[in-house]
């Protein structure tokens, strides 16, 4: 599975046309770039995509986070809405309580920089965890080791939580993350484009099209 990390409607529409995106992940920083209120932009995203839409909770305490989670679910009334909850101690508490209230709501534990956070989030009932790959690398944390350790623990302990890695700056990071054991990733639109539109590939395709046109022209001349 592959997710798109953006709230830009044009990018989401283009990605939807490709047909391989499973959903969209957002956070307050991403939403701020679109200069619209959360409810407004999320409703617009739901209207242009068929997949899951992850909405991040805000708050400083578990009670604040849980209250916002309830507000999100009530505001949209759509089974495609999933919650993103930060994986600090207050967030872990909120995840556990949210799952106790409504077990069918998908939760993505976010703001993750360690294997320990991944373990706690899984125990709390998170369906997904979002380790921040590029941010870990920038802070001299071996992101790929975190992924490998987490996957090993999940598999050995038979935990159902999936690794949905985030925070990428290049396509090499995406591939290394998947090789390390991540189940899936969420990426910005420009990296989705870069994964397919390789310069050498585009050059070869251009030549194929040119040769095909020449072949067609010769066929017309022979008629």
CA dist., res. 118 & res. 170, Å (int): 23
Q: Per-residue pLDDT tens for 170-223?
A: 999 999 999 999 999 999 999 999 999 999 999 999 999 998 988 888 766 666
Report the 10 Å Cβ neighbour count for 59.
17
pLDDT, average across residues 111-138: 98
pLDDT of the residue at 221: 65
Report the C-alpha gap between 191 and 19 in whole angstroms: 16
The Cα 21–Cα 89 span in angstroms is 31
- 196: its two tokens: 């397919």
Active site residues: 84
Look at the pTM and tell me if it is higher than 0.85: yes
**How confident is the model at residue 190, as a pLDDT?**
97
| Predicted pLDDT at 216 | 86
Helix (H, G, I), strand (E, B) or coil at 112: strand
Q: Give the closest residue to 2 by CA, choosing from 26, 14, 33, 15.
A: 15
Q: What is the pLDDT of residue 1?
A: 81
Domains belonging to the chain, first-starting first, are 2-196 (3.20.20.70)
* DSSP structure string for 150-185: HHHHHHHTT---EEEEB--SSHHHHHHHHHHT-SEE
What are the two backbone dihedrals, phi and then psi, of residue 47, each rounded to the nearest 5 degrees?
-75, -20
DSSP assigned state of 127 = S
Tell me, what's the pLDDT at 215? Answer: 86
């Amino acid at each position: 599975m592959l997710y798109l990390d953006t709230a830009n409607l044009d990018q989401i529409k283009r990605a939807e046309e490709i047909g391989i995106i499973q959903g969209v992940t957002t956070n307050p920083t991403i939403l701020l770039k679109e200069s619209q209120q959360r409810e407004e932009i999320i409703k617009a995203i739901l209207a242009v995509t068929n997949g899951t839409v992850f909405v991040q909770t805000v708050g400083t305490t578990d009670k604040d986070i849980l209250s916002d989670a309830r507000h999100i679910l009530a505001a949209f009334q759509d089974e495609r809405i999933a919650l993103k909850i930060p994986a600090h101690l207050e967030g872990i508490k909120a995840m556990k309580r949210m799952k106790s209230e409504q077990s069918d709501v998908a939760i993505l534990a976010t703001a993750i920089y360690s294997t320990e956070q991944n373990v706690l989030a899984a125990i709390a009932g998170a369906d997904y965890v979002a380790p921040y790959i590029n941010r870990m690398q920038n802070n001299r944390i071996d992101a790929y080791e975190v992924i490998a350790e987490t996957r090993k623990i999940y598999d050995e302990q038979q935990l159902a939580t999936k690794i949905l890695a985030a925070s990428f700056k290049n396509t090499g990071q995406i591939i290394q993350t998947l090789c390390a054991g991540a189940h899936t990733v969420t990426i910005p639109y420009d990296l989705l484009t870069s994964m397919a539109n390789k310069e050498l590939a585009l050059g070869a395709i251009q030549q194929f099209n040119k040769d095909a046109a020449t072949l067609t022209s010769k066929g017309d001349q022979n008629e």
